[in-house]
Amino acid sequence: MFKKGSKLFSIFNNKCPQCQEGDFLVSRPYNLVKAGEIHERCPVCNLRYAKEPGFYYGAMYVAYALAVALFVTLWTSFNLFFKGTSIGWQIGTILVATLVLTPYIYALSKIIWANMFITYDKDARDQKQKSNHL
C-alpha cells in the first residue's frame, strides 16, 4: 500500500519509525488490556521509542486532532448526504463511532507522534548488527 521508507508505511503498519521493520505496539489496538502499549525498544534496530520521560504526552494533541477530524467528517457527511437525519441520530452515531474508534485513535496517535520526531534510516538494522559484533 505505502512504500517502505515513508512515514505512512510506518504509521499504517505500526512499524518502528527508524527501521520500519520492528513492531511499535505491543499488541493490536483492540486488545484492551494492552491498548496503546509500546515496546521499550525496537527488536530490530534497538531504537529507544521514548526519547524522554513523558514523550508521548504530546500524542494527546494528535489524538484530539484525529477525534475532531472524525467528528467533522461524520457531521459533514450527515449534512451533505443524509439531510433528513435528526440531530439525535447524528449525535448518537458520532458518539458510538468515537467510542468504537477510541482504542485505534489512541494507538494511531502514538505512532504518528513518534514519526514526527524519528526519521527513517535504511541502514539502522545494519548499524545494530555492527554494534553487536564490537
Do 84 and 41 form a contact (C-beta atoms < 8 A)?
no
Residue 75's nearest CA partner among 87, 63, 62 is 87
Report, as ranges of residue numbers, the positions in the chain whose pLDDT lies below 50: 133-134
Crossing angle (nearest 10°) for helices 87-117 and 59-81:
140
Give the pLDDT score at 2: 84
Give the pLDDT score at 133: 47
Give the pLDDT score at 9: 95
Per-chain mean pLDDT for the chain: 90
Give the pLDDT score at 122: 86
Do 70 and 105 form a contact (C-beta atoms < 8 A)?
yes
Domain boundaries defined on the chain: 7-133
DSSP state, 134?
Answer: -
Residue 21's nearest CA partner among 130, 131, 132, 123 is 123
C-alpha to C-alpha distance for 67 and 80, rounded to whole angstroms: 20
Residue-wise pLDDT for 88-121, tens only, equals 999 999 999 999 999 999 999 999 999 999 999 9
Per-position b or e across 85-103, b if 16+ CB within 10 A of its CB: eeeeebeebbeeeeeeeeb
